[in-house]
Amino acid sequence: MPEFSQSARRMRTSEIRDLMKHAANPALVSFAGGMPNNELFPTDDIDEVYASLPIELKRQGFQYGPTAGFPPLLDELGTYLRAKGLPVDSNKLIVTTGSLQAINVTAKVFVDPDDVVLTEYPTFIGAAAAFQSYQANAVGTPMDADGVVPEELERAYREHPNAKFLYLTPYFHNPAGVLYSAERKAFVKEFVAKNDILLLEDDPYGELYFHDEDVPLTVPLKADPEIEGKIAYVGSFSKILGPGMRLGWALVPPDIYPKYELAKQSLDACSSTFTQVLASEFLRQGKLPGYLARLREVYHRRMRAMLDAMNETMPEEASWVEPRGGFYVWIELPERVDALDVLKTSIENGAVFVVGKAFDPKGERNNCLRLAYSHTPEDRLADGVRIVADAIKRAL
Give the CATH number, domain containing residue 14: 3.90.1150.10
Cα distance between residue 119 and residue 315, in whole Å:
30
Domain shared by 208 and 274, yes or no: yes
Cα distance between residue 260 and residue 102, in whole Å:
8
Looking at 284, 317, 339, the residue that finishes a domain is 284
Domain shared by 312 and 387, yes or no: yes
Res 6: pLDDT: 80
Domain shared by 222 and 73, yes or no: yes
In a domain, 1, yes or no: no
In a domain, 90, yes or no: yes
Domain shared by 75 and 126, yes or no: yes
In a domain, 64, yes or no: yes
In a domain, 51, yes or no: no
Supply the pTM of this predicted model: 0.96
Res 3: pLDDT: 83
Domain shared by 182 and 221, yes or no: yes
How many domains are there within the chain?
2
Q: How many CB atoms lie under 10 A from the CB of residue 12?
A: 11
Domain shared by 167 and 307, yes or no: no
Looking at 284, 309, 338, the residue that finishes a domain is 284
Res 18: pLDDT: 60
Looking at 224, 255, 284, the residue that finishes a domain is 284
In a domain, 48, yes or no: no
In contact, 16 and 358? CB cutoff 8 Å:
yes
What does the pLDDT profile of the chain (396 residues) look like in tens digits? 788 888 777 766 554 556 557 666 888 999 998 899 899 999 999 999 999 999 999 999 999 999 999 999 999 999 999 999 999 999 999 999 999 999 999 999 999 999 999 999 999 999 999 999 999 999 999 999 999 999 999 999 999 999 999 999 999 999 999 999 999 999 999 999 999 999 999 999 999 999 999 999 999 999 999 999 999 999 999 999 999 999 999 999 999 999 999 999 999 999 999 999 999 999 999 999 999 999 999 999 999 999 999 999 999 999 999 999 999 999 999 999 999 999 999 999 999 999 999 999 998 999 999 999 999 999 999 999 999 999 999 999
Our CA angle for 281, 282, 288, nearest 5°, is: 150
Domain shared by 32 and 119, yes or no: no
Pairs from 312-321 (Cβ < 8 Å, separation ≥ 24): 313/385, 313/386, 313/389, 313/390, 314/385, 314/389, 314/392, 315/389, 315/392, 315/393, 315/396, 317/392, 317/396, 318/389, 318/392, 320/177, 321/145, 321/176, 321/177, 321/178
Domain shared by 96 and 233, yes or no: yes
In a domain, 47, yes or no: no
In a domain, 364, yes or no: yes
Structural domain containing residue 316: 6-42+290-395
Task: Kindly tell me the burial class for residue 193, based on how many C-beta atoms sit within 10 Å of its own C-beta (0-12, 13-18, 19 or more).
Answer: exposed
Domain shared by 38 and 174, yes or no: no
**Nearest-CA neighbor of 208 among 391, 64, 372, 4?**
372
Res 20: pLDDT: 58
Domain shared by 294 and 162, yes or no: no
Cα distance between residue 315 and residue 396, in whole Å:
9
Res 1: pLDDT: 77
Domain shared by 84 and 165, yes or no: yes
Domain shared by 276 and 333, yes or no: no
Res 12: pLDDT: 63
CATH code of the domain covering residue 229: 3.40.640.10
In a domain, 76, yes or no: yes
**Amino acid identity, residue 7?**
S
Res 17: pLDDT: 59
